[in-house]
Amino acid sequence: MAGFVSDLVQYRKLLLMIVVLGIGGTHLTGFQMAVINYTSPYIQKFINETWLERYGSVLPQETLTLLWSLIVSVYCVGGMIGCLCSGYLAAKYGKKKCLLFNDVILITATLNTGFSRRAKSFEMILVGRFLEGIGAGIHLNAHVQYAGEISPKKLRGFINVTSTVFLALGKTVARILGLRDLLGTEDLWNVLLSFSGLVALIQLLFLPFFPESPPYLLLQKEDKAGCLKAMKQLWGEENYRTEFDDLMKEKAITKGTKIMNVVELLRERSVYPQLCTMLLLVLSLQLCGLSAITFYTSEIFQTANLQESVIPYVSLGVSISELISIIFCSSIIDRFGRRMLLCGGYLLMALILALLETSLLLSDRFPWLRYCSVILIFLFIIAYGIGPAGAPASVMNEIFTLSTRASAFVIGGIVTWLGLTFTGMIFPFAVMLLGPFCFLIFIVVLVLSVVLIYLFLPETKGKSTSEITEEFKTHYFKRKHHKAVEMNATQEKTFCTRL
């Protein structure tokens, strides 16, 4: 731990850039996803009042539900559009300019939501949420890639996980500001929605003082001097040589290779193992049971006889537990590796879900189990934060070269946004149909994910991108060669039998 702390002190300029990246990156996504729950009753009342003032009639409940559903779901639609744009923007203009452009979009979005009440226009909220979704789709991809590309090898895992740290921080900030003691009131809900614009403005002002990522400068722009200058600025005068040598090796390997778009990437068979690994990580995160826990949290807290006024503070405690556990993950990922955190975290989550399902099924016979369920929720979130929450972002950054990374993140992002939309629509019906037995689905997914990760994901800790790519090729073609040998042996055996 002492060595880790000394490394952080040594790379203090880099850490400052990580903070600027984070507050205007995934922090905003976490905030926007959580804050909508706290403003829900006030926005719906605002829509009703606006409709009555315009048309002199009460808005039908079905129409109100439709408008509210549009406000919630248009964020995911914008996210998918932003994700599709992020690959082109990041490849052509670099991650830095991409994020600065995105800050302008987010400020425009919050101006719409912030002034919607004064303008008496719920349509402005709809437009603002759509623009926020576009911004989220862009900065989710750009931030994670940017953080991975500016990190030195010995801190690569830690810096990759910071994108998840800031995502959890955004959720926590939203839950703090959304309390009724602060901005979660009928008079201040539009101010609460506007908070993300202030954070985007901070990034817009300070990010220009930091450099573009060294790999982008060297491999895409072929600016060797600019790359060296960026490395020295971020890592110091003596800490960049090994990474620079690795970049030069990658440049030699990928010489003449242009940055691929999504269609070209899907046609490139050599990256199929990495794409399959990425999809495995994304889908396992979507189906790990976190959505089930979130759905059941309020009900479990209520059955534990917690007062209605206390539940928001307990939910805040859950968010703080997630944040602390992900910070802990960032400090140990470069020591224990990605595979161990993923496999260990998923197995622990499966065990906790099994205990939680047992607790929910038997809580009517043994009322004291309701309190155990509350404890198990906290333990599940902690297990999620220690491994599976942060490790996938690191792995996805490490297994792709610069020529394939942007498009790979577009594919991963589209799957993520579709997954969020799908689980949001389907999961409530699954709960109605299966009840607590829905946890069995997630237990099976978690165990299956552990098996597949163990079989197909090589450890990426402390390895360069070219080394990881070579390891994927070796592992993939070794399996193909082994299969071909078995087929040949079978054919020879059949031939001999015929003789």
How do residues 390-430 score in pLDDT, each as one tens digit? 899 899 988 998 888 889 999 999 998 888 877 767 776 77
Mean pLDDT of 52-74: 87
How do residues 31-40 score in pLDDT, each as one tens digit? 998 888 888 8
- Three state DSSP letters for the chain: CHHHHHHHHHCHHHHHHHHHHHHCCHHHHHHHHHHHHHHHHHHHHHHHHHHHHHHCCCCCHHHHHHHHHHHHHHHHHHHHHHHHHHHHHHHHHHHHHHHHHHHHHHHHHHHHHHHHHHHCCHHHHHHHHHHHHHHHHHHHHHHHHHHHHCCCHHHHHHHHHHHHHHHHHHHHHHHHHCCCCCCCCCCCHHHHHHHHHHHHHHHHHHHHHCCCCHHHHHHHCCCHHHHHHHHHHHHCCCCCHHHHHHHHHHHHHCCCCCCCCHHHHHHCHHHHHHHHHHHHHHHHHHCCCHHHHHHHHHHHHHHCCCCCCCHHHHHHHHHHHHHHHHHHHHHHHHHHCHHHHHHHHHHHHHHHHHHHHHHHHHCCCCCCHHHHHHHHHHHHHHHHHHCCCCHHHHHHHHCCCHHHHHHHHHHHHHHHHHHHHHHHHHHHHHHHHHHHHHHHHHHHHHHHHHHHHHHHCCCCCCCCHHHHHHHHHHHHHHHHHHHHHHHHHHHHHHHHHHC
The model's confidence at residue 4, banded by pLDDT at 50, 70 and 90, is low
Enter the pTM of the model: 0.88
pLDDT of residue 206: 96
Mean pLDDT of 11-38: 90
For residues 270 and 473, is the Cβ–Cβ distance under 8 A? yes
pLDDT of residue 489: 45
pLDDT of residue 477: 54
How do residues 267-312 score in pLDDT, each as one tens digit? 988 899 999 999 999 999 888 888 777 766 776 777 777 777 788 8
Domains in the chain, CATH or no CATH each = 7-210 (1.20.1250.20), 267-463 (1.20.1250.20)
Burial class (CB in 10 A: 0-12, 13-18, 19+), 56: exposed
Query: Tokens standing for 369?
Result: 């189990």
Mean pLDDT of 232-257: 79
How do residues 161-179 score in pLDDT, each as one tens digit? 999 999 999 999 999 999 8
The model's confidence at residue 110, banded by pLDDT at 50, 70 and 90, is very high
Radius of gyration of the chain, Cα coordinates, nearest whole angstrom: 24
Indicate the average pLDDT of the chain.
86
User: How many other C-beta atoms lie within 10 A of the C-beta of residue 85?
Assistant: 18
Which one has a higher pLDDT value, 237 or 225?
225
Which one has a higher pLDDT value, 136 or 367?
136
pLDDT of residue 273: 92
